[in-house]
Amino acid sequence: MLSNGTTHQNVTKKYQQGATSSSLASAAPPESAPALPARGEGEADMAILLDRAHARVLTADMMLTEMQDKHDKEKELWADRLEEGKCLVSELQTECETLEGALQESQHQQHADMEDAHAQIKDVEEERDEWQQRFQELQVEYKEAKEQPDWNVPPAPKDDDAPVNYDKVEELHDALRDQDRQLNETFQEVSRLEQVAEDYKVELEETQTNLEALQSELEEKDDRVRQMGMELEEKEQQVRNLSSTKSLMDGADEDDADLTEDKDRLAKRIESLESQVHTLEAERTTLQKCLDDAMQELEFVDEEVQGMNQLRTEKEDLEKRAQKLQRRLEARNQEILELQQQQQQLAIPEETSSPPGSETDGNGSKSAPSSPRSGKFDDFMETSRHFASRLRSKSVDRLRRTDTKDSDTHTSAAVASSARASPVSSNNNEQHNSNNMMREELDAERERVREMEDEWTTTKTDLAAKEKKNIELRRSLREAVGLLRPLQDHVADAEREKEELQDSLHNANERVTSLEKQLEDLQSVRTSNMPQDEAERAEQQNLQIEFNAKEREVTRLQEEVETVQKQLREAHVQVTELQEHLASERKSSELLREAEDSSSNESRNKNNNNKEIEELLEEVKARKFSEGSLRLLVKDSQAKTNASKKENKALIVEKTELEERLAEAENEVSKMEERLVLSHAELIQANAKFLESRTNNNDYDKAIVSKMQTELKSLKEQLQICEVELEKKDDELSKLTEELRQSELCLGTVTGDAQIMKKMKDGMKKMKDGTNRAQRHEAELGTLRKSVSSQESKITTLETELLATKGNLRDKEDTEKLLNSSLKEAVGLLKPLQGHVKSAEKEKRRLEKQLVESKRRVESGESSRTIGKQDQIETELMVVQREKKELESRLRRLESEKINLEEKVQNLAEEIVRERGESSSNGVSNGGKSSDKLTKLKAKLVEMTSRYDVTKAKLDRATDSNVSLLKDCKRLERAETENAQEIDRLRKQLRKATHDLDKAKIIARNALVKVEELTMASLQQMSRAQNHGSYSAGGSARTLSSMIQSGSVDQDEEIGPLLESIDTLEQQINGARQYNHESRGKSKREGMLHNHLEKHNQRSSPRSRQVTTSKR
């Protein structure tokens, strides 16, 4: 941009130079006029081009600024989104922590209540033992008293002088009081135990209600079983009808066979469609549950939004309070300013014109008039009269008390002048003290103002955070609605498919009815044409078929009745146990009531001692009985607690199993995590950009803070300098005041000259100037302190902002982590739904294909009725029976699984009811939480069952593939063992061949040595023959030939078999090499296969682990 600007400036300068030259040319003589027009046109063109270039540069600058603004806005939006996500995650964390704390508190409370109950039971037992001991002691004393001879004898009349033993009487009275008190305590304990028994009764009533609910559920199950039986009977009747038509139409025409085939196919198709309709209904129910859960979550979010509206109202209230505080602060500041103005007005002296009057003595006589010297001080007295009125009166009183009647006028004048001068210094001290007090008040007010400003800023930040939370909640609502819409669409599609399938079923049923009518017509025609014997045979066959079918139905129904009877027996056993328990508790309650009645009767008849003892014995017996019943109750409660503990252990085991399944699901989720890595990388990049911007902002903030700190230091230094100057001026003022005092003392002795008065006036002016300067310095100090306080407040605000930004950044990082984890969890939750949707789509396609095939078959059956044989019909019937058996087995399995799940749900419901009873006894109601837990557990059960089905199908496929791979592995192992055996055999052959070769080499060496020896000998003979002559030559030739012949004979005898063995060995070696080459190729292939199998096993190892865990 700078280069463009410079070029443009240069061009403009050149253009201006050209313009000046053109103007000079126009001023020149007319001889050079013809050349000017061309130059002016070129300069105009250049100017136009320059303007265009300048416009382009400006547009480019505008585009750059717009792009930068857009980029900054996008950055801000991204940062806001991150902050919103972090706030959401922090809120969720706080909610989770609060829930955990509440759970822990409830557990601690339950534990403490149990401990208190055990302690109370122990205390009751100890008190009971003590009471028994006391009762035994009383019985012993009663027996001893009866054994004495004077027991029934009335006491002898005592003398008047004999003293009465009142101590024993009082002791007996105290003992009776103690017994009454103990009885009252026991009655209170009995009432408390009755309350406990009532609580147990309430729990029993709840258990009874639960049992009634279970019985109703069992009845509903029985009704369902009956309905299923009716449906199966209807289906079997249809099958019977089809079989009867088949048996009747065995000898019918080919058209009848085609009709039966079409009917069987349609029946199969109808059954398959019904099964598919059931599956679609199950999926629809699951999706409806998911939608209900989502709607519940939306309701919770709406409640949170309502809470946010309340927060908005609170925000408005806080803003109003802040405005009120600001108004109060402004009023306070105005009051402070008014006080300062009043102080300044007090500092300025008021002018008065009252003349000095005559003074009276203490005795009441008038004193002489003042001397002419005192008139010279009237100006000074008028200026200081307002400030020194009180001190003047005090000083005058003192002087009147001390002075005598014959005192001189000069001494009175000196006293008056001292009394007039001393108030100046005292007024200065009072002003200094008042200034200090005002400063302290101002500091206190400033501190209050700072505190209020801090509160206002905190409320602002809180309100901003709450507004952000509102925005985040709205966004989450929108996202939830966006997630619910595809689910609703899918549900609508499933319902449409269901309606289409129902229509197809209706059409198929209509076709079946039409075919049945045709078959009935054909049967009627056939029976009319058949003789009576054949009709009777057909009827007998039909009856036998129906009889066999009924027998099967009877066996099946007997099995179902047996299962139902077992369930009823178990329920009856549970009911009997509960009834027994209730009866025992009723007996214990009746005994307690009887004990209370007996105790009340005994309390009324305490006057008779003998009757009291007998009643006490009865009470003890009743109490023993009641204690026994209470012990039984305690034992029952302990048994209940043990049973609950066992059930908790079972639940813990189930929890571990579910956790294992969740771990398996997490393994599947790990694949989805890889997809999330890319999004996480993008988030990291955005975070890096944000951190860069944050570092730049931190640097800027640090620079600002450093500047502020330097300014503070400079201001503090200025304050120190001003304080030093004030101290110096205070010292000067003190010196001046001392000089004034000395001069005033000297005035009594020195005559009043004009020079002295001038000096005094000059000194007073200096004093006034000093006080004014001190006030100015104090005002400057106040301003400096205000600036320092403002700077300190700014620094504190900046520090708080820095801390807040750091905390926000940390929170953002934490929220990013939590967002990633929440995204993973969301993906894990959405995965089973996707699997359900995919499976539903696959089933839809399969159903459509089957419908198309059935239509084609029906059309082909209608077109070609002449095709079909009895063998095909029989095979199809066998297939139908097999499919029926498989469906029955599947139904049984499903029923067993359903029963198991219902039992689990019932156990969970019982545990929840127990927890409710415990919470009601402890004064805590956790109904809402338990219902939420139930809904969540049901949703988890649905999800886990769906996952289990999906994983089961995958595991079945994996097991099939594993079986085939194991077979291949075994086959390859066998081939490897065979190859190893062949390799061992070949190695043995190689060893033999090498041994033979070694032997052949030795033989060949021996032969070569002999040949060399023979050749050397022949050479020697030849040399001798040349020396001796022909005769010797002929002899030597003969000897050589004989030796060669002999040698050749030996050589042939030894070398022939050697050559043959060498040839055979070479052939064996070549064969062994070829075999080794082939075996190496095979071993390479086998190695490749082995590596492939190992890789496949490694891949299928998690699947096998999943299989093992599912089997467990």
The three-state DSSP-derived secondary structure of 726-757 is HHHHHHHHHHHHHHHHHHHHHHCCCCCCHHHH
CB 132 within 8 A of CB 621: no
Q: Residue 69 above 80 pLDDT? A: yes
Question: How far is C-alpha 249 from the chain's CA centre?
Answer: 69
366, β-bridge pairs: 360
Q: Which two tokens stand for residue 86?
A: 């972090």
Model pLDDT, residue 1071:
66
Report pLDDT digits (tens) over 544-562: 676 666 667 666 666 766 6
Task: With residue 268 as reference, give the H or E element that holds it.
Answer: helix 254-347
Share of the chain above pLDDT 90, in %: 0
Cα within 13 Å of Cα(885), Cβ side: 6
| pLDDT (average), residues 649-673 | 64
pLDDT of 51 reads 78
Q: What is the largest CA-CA distance in the chain?
A: 211
Query: Is residue 121 within 8 Å of 634, Cβ to Cβ?
Result: yes
What's the whole-number mean pLDDT along residues 1063-1075? 63
Q: Is the pLDDT of residue 807 over 60?
A: yes
613: Cβ contacts below 8 Å, ≥ 6 apart = 138, 142
Q: Which long-range contacts (CB under 8 A, 24 or more apart) does 708-717 make?
A: 708/791, 708/794, 708/795, 708/798, 709/795, 711/791, 712/788, 712/791, 712/792, 712/795, 715/784, 715/787, 715/788, 715/791, 716/788
Q: Which structure tokens are listed for 78?
A: 């991204």
pLDDT at 235: 64
pLDDT for res 674 = 65
User: Do 32 and 25 form a contact (C-beta atoms < 8 A)?
Assistant: yes
Give the distance from CA 65 to its chain's centroid: 43
Closest CA to 490 of 851, 830, 838, 940: 838
Q: Which of 240-254, 357-371, 975-989 has the highest mean pLDDT?
A: 975-989
pLDDT tier, 358 (very low <50, low <70, confident <90, very high otherwise): very low
| DSSP three-state, residue 806 | helix
The predicted model gives 1026-1055 an average pLDDT of 44
The residue-averaged pLDDT of 295-312 equals: 63
Tell which residue, 1066, 1063, 1072, 1064, has the closest CA to residue 987. 1072
On the 0-12 / 13-18 / 19+ scale of CB atoms within 10 A, 647 is: middle
pLDDT value, residue 677: 63
Percent of the chain at pLDDT exceeding 70: 21
Residue 938 has, within 13 A of its CA and on its CB side, a CA count of: 15
Q: Do the beta carbons of residue 1103 and residue 668 sit within 8 Å?
A: no
Q: What is the pLDDT of residues 138-166, one digit of tens each?
A: 777 767 766 766 555 554 444 444 444 55
Token pair for 312: 């908005």
Between CA 474 and CA 311 the distance in angstroms is: 15
Q: Are 304 and 896 in contact (CB under 8 A)?
A: no
pLDDT of residue 923: 47
pLDDT at 282 (0 to 100): 72
Q: Residue 991: is it exposed, middle or buried by C-beta count within 10 angstroms (0-12/13-18/19+)?
A: exposed
Q: pLDDT by residue (tens digit) across 596-623? A: 565 555 555 545 555 665 666 676 677 6
The pLDDT of residue 434:
61
DSSP three-state, residue 1009: helix
Residue 196 to residues 126, 128, 581, 1006, Cα–Cα distance (Å): 19, 18, 15, 119
Cα(775)–Cα(340) distance, rounded to whole angstroms?
12
Most confident of 77-86, 352-361, 529-538, 959-968: 77-86
Read off the pLDDT band of 19 (50, 70, 90). Answer: very low
Higher pLDDT, 523 or 1021: 1021
Residue type, 654: E
Answer for the pair 438, 396: CB distance below 8 angstroms, yes or no: no
Segment 205-224 shows an average pLDDT of: 67
The rounded distance, in Å, linking the Cα atoms of 833 and 608 is 84
Q: HSE (CB half, 13 Å, CA atoms) of 571?
A: 19
Instruction: Summarize the confidence of residues 513-540 as an average pLDDT.
Output: 60
Cβ pair 572, 252 in contact under 8 A: no
Say yes or no to pLDDT of 583 above 80.
no
Torsion angle of alpha carbons 280, 282, 288, 293, nearest 10°?
-140
Residue in this structure with the two tokens 């508790």, named with its chain if needed: 585
Mean pLDDT calculated for residue range 702-709: 65
Q: State the burial class of residue 629 (Cβ atoms within 10 Å of its Cβ: 0-12, 13-18, 19+).
A: buried
The chain-wide mean pLDDT, for the chain, equals 63
Residue 657 makes CB contacts below 8 A (sequence gap 6+) with 1112
* Other CB atoms within 10 Å distance of the CB of residue 202: 13
Higher pLDDT, 1036 or 706: 706
Alpha-carbon Rg for the chain in angstroms: 60
pLDDT for residue 579 is more than 60: no
Least confident residue range of 100-104, 675-679, 907-911, 1003-1007:
675-679
More confident residue, 1106 or 771: 771
Supply the pLDDT for residue 374. 41
The whole-number pLDDT of residue 160 equals: 43
**Residue 578 CB partners (closer than 8 Å, separation 6+):** 204, 207, 208, 211
Q: Which of 395-399, 883-887, 1041-1045 has the lowest mean pLDDT?
A: 1041-1045
- Say how far apart CA 389 and CA 373 lie, in whole Å: 21
> 440-492, pLDDT tens digit by residue?
766 776 777 677 777 777 777 777 777 777 677 667 666 666 666 666 666 66
104-109 own/partner pairs: CB under 8 Å, 24+ apart: 106/919, 106/924, 106/926, 109/922, 109/924
- pLDDT of res. 561: 60
Task: Give residue 83's pLDDT band: very low, low, confident or very high (50, 70, 90).
Answer: confident
> Residue 294: which residues within 8 A CB-CB, separation 6 or more?
480, 483, 484, 487
- b/e 670-698 (16+ beta carbons within 10 angstroms → b): eeeeeeeeeebeebeebbeebeeebeeee
The pLDDT value given to residue 130? 77
Residue 173 identity: H
Work out the angle at residue 19's Cα, subtended by the Cα atoms of residues 18 and 22, and round it to the nearest 5 degrees: 85
How far apart (Å, rounded) are the C-alpha atoms in residues 622 and 592? 8
Measured distance CA(714)–CA(444) in Å, rounded: 25
CA atoms of 116 and 651, how far apart (whole Å)? 27
3-class secondary structure, 665: helix
Is pLDDT above 60 for 104?
yes
Mean pLDDT of 1002-1021: 71
Closest CA to 260 of 272, 273, 242: 242
φ, ψ for residue 770 (rounded to 5)? Answer: -65, -40
